[in-house]
Chains A and B, each alone.
Chain A
Amino acid sequence: MENNQNMPAKPNNYMVLAILSTIFCCIATGIASIIYASKVNECYARGEYAEAEKASKNAKMWAFIGIGISALVWIIYIAFFGFAFLGAMSNAGSY
């Protein structure tokens, strides 16, 4: 509290992305993201702003790795099964 004047803003800890990836997608990258998010808060509270900044970058990276992996899985899935699925759908109407 003593150096309130020159305290930089708290770096983003990307909690929204962390929640999205743990609950809706990939646990592993989500947990990495959460751990770095908590590191952002702890370092910031201790006044280690450079460390907090670094943890923020890591939190972001892991969140985006999770999103990237799920996007990739989705694209591969659509590429493999999309056509079969559309075929099945168009047949379904004629029964």
Chain B
Amino acid sequence: MRVATKKTVFVGLGVLSIGAILLYFSFNPENGLLFPKCPIHEYLGIYCSGCGSQRAIHDLLHLRIGDAVSHNILILPALFVLAQHFLVKFGILNGKSLLNYRYAPLVLLAVVLLFMALRNLKIGPFEYLAP
């Protein structure tokens, strides 16, 4: 029973992710018709750490790495860390998952908060971090 449920969840997630990939490949969130806007930016007027990630995913699926990074610079490191984690988990890569280190959550917290603070600054080089 449990195995069956797990299988259903995996299949469901697979179907959902393929659907999402097709959706984000076909339509550019820049045009903003179908894709939800970040409510934090809508109502508070600040950029959070997730702002620009929908556009960044679209760019990545079209292999426009530079555009993706300019929309959300954390998307590449995030994908790298997740990829490393799953490669280790499924035994393809030797070593320890970066997410299993004791201070991984604190490092992530610091990076996210710093990124969020810097990308809201409207001065000089930090403007590049805005989505």
Q: Smallest CB–CB gap between A42 and chain B, Å?
A: 8
A16 touches B36 (CB 8 A): no
Classify chain B's interface size: 20 to 34
Q: Give Cα A85 to B40, complex, Å.
A: 24
Number of interface residues of A (CB under 8 A): 31
Judge whether A9 is part of the interface by a CB distance below 8 angstroms.
no
Q: Give Cα A13 to B109, complex, Å.
A: 14
Residues of A within 8 A of B49 (CB): 22-23, 27, 30
Q: Smallest CB–CB gap between B116 and chain A, Å?
A: 7
The 18 sampled A-B contact pairs (Cβ below 8 Å) are: A13-B105, A15-B85, A15-B99, A16-B82, A16-B99, A23-B49, A23-B74, A25-B53, A26-B50, A27-B116, A31-B113, A35-B109, A45-B102, A74-B36, A81-B34, A82-B34, A85-B34, A88-B33
**Chain B interface (Cβ < 8 Å from any Cβ of A):** 33-36, 39-40, 48-50, 53, 57, 72, 74-75, 78, 81-82, 85, 99, 102-106, 108-109, 112-113, 116
